[in-house]
Chain A
Amino acid sequence: MSQSIVDVSAKAGFSFDLCKRNEMLTQKGLKAPSFLKTGTTIVGLIFKDGVILGADTRATEGPIVADKNCEKIHYMAPNIYCCGTAADTEAVTDMVSSQLRLHRYETGRDSRVITALTLLKKHLFSYQGHVSAALVLGGVDITGPHLHTIDPNGLTETLPFATMGSGSLAAMSVFEAKYKEGLTRDEGIKLVAEAICSGIFNDLGSGSNVDICVITKGNKEYLRNYMEPNPRTYVSSKGYSFTKKTEVLLTKITPLLERVEITEVGEAMEE
């Protein structure tokens, strides 16, 4: 075996090989891909029995609203949910959610919120802020209810109430003015909805409807479109009339799938 002259980099620490490659590519004229930001209002608060998370439902692509009703509250574990701001959060949340599931199989216990927090924070920090995911993580585990925020740089905070996203100041002003400890479920939901509405109506990057997720010990409620304060108010009653030159030639409905009923019951898989 020939002696290796090249120094193999140690396994520990940061490896910047890909940075050199990126620089080389940009010098050759490659435009770096820009990211899809969603400009958002996401909030969380701790109430008497657990955690309530809230989010708006607008996804923007620059100045255009790409999705009027997207889902920003992501599942992490049966007792942990995470609200995220940009597209990167979907990927990061999915990844950590699967890591948590494997961990649950390994340990045989319910996941804890700080486990999710540590996995997310390690991942985001190692990318030095380039994975632009700002998250509000909340859940109830054996040690009680927890609420954390995670910055794209990996900074985490443990708070009784938190807001993130472009609408965070509007939502935070509602929380700072009205939050008290020991809120009941209804009071908490009302306050979260008020904070999200403040973001929706005062921030251009947030809009459409309010999603809410209530997590208590042993139970979770995902209230999709809890409030729809921006309904489409004008719908033409006359319908759409085509000009005389337009002719309907043929109307045929082609079903794409045929439903097949399986009547035989197979054997159960062996464990």
Chain B
Amino acid sequence: MTFTVPIDNGDSVKIAEEESQRTLYPYVTGTSIVAIKYKDGVLMASDMGGSYGSTLRYKNIERVKAIGKHSLLGASGEISDFQEILRYLDELTLNDNMWDDGNSLGPKEIHNYLTRVMYNRRNKFDPLWNTLVLGGVKNGKSYLGMVSMIGVSFEDDHVATGFGNHLARPILRDEWHADLSFEDGVKLLEKCMRVLLYRDRSAINKLQIAKITEEGVTVSQPYSLKTFWEFSSFHNPTAGAEGSW
């Protein structure tokens, strides 16, 4: 919208009102992230898909990244906003390193920073369209928390975003317990990711599991899960109703 303002000497100058820049809807999105605390730290699983509406456009997106020495950030939602958040965190960790005081940002601090960023953006009606999962280990204590795009933030022993809330959370509530071993933790995460693969339309069968312990971060190579489609009902779905489909 533009309007003209008459100035003293009679000339008019067009001053353009700033076009509002608001995020109205996400474009390229990642689906759920599932994360759990285990004996030595935190495990986080995500698939590598980026959907553009209903097309699976990108199949090689890493949605879990290491932040500093002590944290792991996973994001679902708009991928470009996730990349923006990574830039903010880069700046943050860089400035922290420049103090050169032997201290480094732990997961709790990064979680707090992200909560502030997300909440402030939401108050300006220009949210970063992501749900973030922050996991990490510092001084032997593991930490796992979540921030949503409107700034809702909390800490828990197991978290899931998006569809994972409905499909993975029930399994985690039943079967998670403290001091899981690494193998059990991975098995539990794979169980959740398999259900998501069956029932979430934007999930793909290419996932990564990231692990963070006191020693550091390891992100696994992408791999796929075995699925089972050989139910006898599927072979002959019209067994009882001849002629239907």
Please report A residues at the B interface, Cβ cutoff 8 Å: 46, 112-114, 117, 141, 143-144, 146, 158-160, 169-170, 172-174, 176-177, 181, 198, 201-202
Contacts and interface: CB of A to CB of B under 8 A. Distances in A.
B2 interface: no
A181 B233 CA distance: 10
- Interface of B: prevailing SS: helix
Contacts of A173: 166-168, 170-171, 192, 195, 199
Interface in B162-212: 163, 166-171, 173-174, 191-192, 194-195, 198-199
Given A176-B198, A177-B191, A201 B166 contact: no
Interface stretch (B65-73, B78-86, B87-95, B236-244): B236-244
Contacts of B168: 173
A114 B237 CA distance: 13
Given A143-B240, A172-B199, A176-B199, A46 B167 contact: no
Contacts of B241: 114, 117, 158
B240 A177 contact: no
A202 B240 contact: no
B60 to A, nearest CB: 26
Interface in B85-121: none
B19 to A, nearest CB: 40
A114 B166 CA distance: 32
Contacts of B234: 160
A176 B194 contact: yes
Contacts of A160: 231-234
B166 A170 contact: yes
Contacts of A158: 233, 237-241
**What are the 5 A-B residue pairs with the smallest beta carbon separation, nearest first?**
A169-B166, A160-B233, A170-B170, A114-B241, A202-B170
A156 to B, nearest CB: 9
Contact of A177 (B171, B232, B233, B237): B171
19 contacts: A113-B240, A143-B240, A158-B233, A160-B232, A160-B233, A169-B166, A169-B167, A169-B199, A170-B169, A172-B195, A173-B167, A173-B170, A173-B195, A174-B171, A176-B194, A177-B191, A177-B195, A198-B170, A202-B169
- Most chain A beta-carbon contacts within 10 A, residue among B168, B199, B231, B239: B231
Contacts of B199: 169, 172-173, 176
A117 B244 CA distance: 12
Given A114-B244, A160-B232, A173-B170, 10 more contacts: A143-B239, A144-B240, A158-B233, A160-B233, A170-B169, A173-B167, A173-B171, A173-B195, A176-B198, A176-B199
